[in-house]
Amino acid sequence: MEREHFRILVVDDDKAFLLLLTSILKDAGYKVEKASTAQEALKKLRGISPHLIIADLKMPGMSGLELIERVKEEYPEIEVIMITAYATVDTAVQAMKLGAFDYITKPLQDPEELRQLVARVFEKQQLKLENQLLREQLSKDLPPIDLIFMGMDDLRQEVEEVASTNATIMLYGESGTGKSLIARVIHQLSGRKGAFVEINCAAIPENLLEAELFGYERGAFTGATSTKKGKFELAQKGTIFLDEISEMGPSSQAKLLRVLQDGSFERLGGLATIKTDARVIAATNQNIREAIKEKLFREDLYYRLNVFPIEIPPLRERREVIPHLVRYFTATLSKKLGKEIREIPPKVMDTLVKYPWPGNIRELQNVIERAVILSKGGKLAAPRLEEGMEEETLEGSLKELEKKAIEKALERFGGNRKKAAEYLGISLRALQYKIKNYGLA
């Protein structure tokens, strides 16, 4: 967070002193708003969303101590500095007990005293944000770059060329092909100092997705008991990865379009406009053109997202990579699970190479993890693959299998698409796309 994004609300009924503080803090590079009474400050809170309040202790109507109490009750994340000509040990202790960060006396003898105190608050908020970003950071240690891009030299070149730019990227590929992994690689190669923040648009209900993306103010909806930063705020100077973007509903699409157009948004229930420089990478495993035709996805948003499209091939189209992935996953998962595996039997490797991997790399990793758990005598156990999948896919295509699975699910639930989607482990919207694509409607 830069100083120009650090918002301060100064509250004092002494207009001359109010202007003095405002001038000092603005010259220091902060964004400053002012209020003449505690009541006015409370009215402005939601619209301003300040990080810090500097308030006089003695004011007509509501006192500064009462203001602290109200602020800390409703907005505990906001820091408060008391400033007063009536400083005593008692009032200072009382202010601190109510949650004040510190206090300063007036008349202000040295503006540097104020600047240093505010700088301490700024540093504290910076540290808090960094800790939050670390908690939000979903990126794990990446596999070797050569392994990630094995069999995909052209894709690697594209990634290396686009990473250092600010271009918005759209990743296309089947589920489990490693879109999230490629997005993290792009973030690391970009040199961006902020966090990599990931959100799966299909995993969050539409009525909650906006709150997750853009944050919300206390009282914005039932259950919003405190202010919360959204993913775009957490991804400042970093990258936000929007997985399964085609599952995003119309309201969130409209807000995302605005972010891509001018880099700004408001939290739910808030009035303050927040700027973001987060780099956007989106991904989908669906036919997004079809979604546009069906009026399920905005065409203008598609063009904003599709600045630099990257297609990730399925694992079955680069089978030469499978032995390398098997060895890598066996080694890393063995270490994680406390197993010692010295050998991968040729028959096991042959089975893994021939399997069609409809779930791609994600499925391969899960299968290897199960095999490692079941391994004995230092040998990788025979993999437990989906019953009948191996033989059947050698005779027919993956699409035919998927079509059959959908037909069986619809038949099982009497045509109830919602129940069929839940049974298949995909979203209703994804199922609707596939039903149309396979002519099952």
Q: What is the phi/psi pair of residue 196, to 5°? A: -95, 115
Tokens 């408060």 belong to 80
Mean pLDDT to the nearest integer, 323-328: 94
Mean pLDDT to the nearest integer, 27-38: 92
Give 195's strand partners.
none
The pLDDT, as a whole number, for residue 125 is: 81
Q: Which residue has the higher pLDDT, 48 or 157?
A: 157
The correct CATH number of 396-437 out of 3.40.50.300, 3.30.1180.20, 1.10.10.60, 1.10.20.10 is 1.10.10.60
The pLDDT, as a whole number, for residue 76 is: 85
Alpha-carbon distance of 260 to 244, in angstroms, equals 17
Look at residue 64 and tell me whether its pLDDT is greater than 80. Answer: yes
Tens-digit pLDDT profile for residues 380-409: 999 888 644 444 444 444 567 778 888 888
Look at residue 167 and tell me whether its pLDDT is greater than 90. Answer: yes
Alpha-carbon distance of 17 to 59, in angstroms, equals 13
Q: What does CATH list as the number for 3-126?
A: 3.40.50.2300
The pLDDT, as a whole number, for residue 128 is: 72
- The residues, any chain, with a CB within 8 Å of residue 341's CB and separated by 6 or more, are 330, 331, 334, 372, 375, 378, 379, 380
Look at residue 260 and tell me whether its pLDDT is greater than 60. Answer: yes
Same fold across 3-126 and 166-311: yes
Domain ranges of the chain: 3-126, 166-311, 315-392, 396-437
The pLDDT, as a whole number, for residue 440 is: 83
pTM over 0.85: no
The pLDDT, as a whole number, for residue 308 is: 96
The pLDDT, as a whole number, for residue 86 is: 64
Tokens 């297609």 belong to 311
Class of domain 166-311: alpha beta
Alpha-carbon distance of 216 to 265, in angstroms, equals 11
Tokens 């002519």 belong to 439
H/E stretch holding 427: none
The pLDDT, as a whole number, for residue 196 is: 93
- The residues, any chain, with a CB within 8 Å of residue 421's CB and separated by 6 or more, are 427, 428, 430, 431
Tens-digit pLDDT profile for residues 406-434: 888 888 888 888 888 877 777 777 788 78
Average pLDDT of the chain is 86
Instruction: State the amino acid at position 212 in one-letter form.
Output: E
**pLDDT cut 70: percent of the chain above it:** 92
State how far Cα 172 lies from the chain centre: 19
Q: Which of 199-208, 246-255, 257-266, 365-374 has the lowest mean pLDDT?
A: 199-208
Alpha-carbon distance of 141 to 152, in angstroms, equals 21
DSSP tag of 99? T
Q: Which of 86-90, 164-168, 302-306 has the lowest mean pLDDT?
A: 86-90
Token reading at 309: 């499209």
Q: Which of 226-235, 256-265, 328-337, 397-406 has the lowest mean pLDDT?
A: 397-406
Q: Which residue has the higher pLDDT, 255 or 104?
A: 255
Helix (H, G, I), strand (E, B) or coil at 249: coil
Does CATH place domain 315-392 in 1.10.8.60? yes
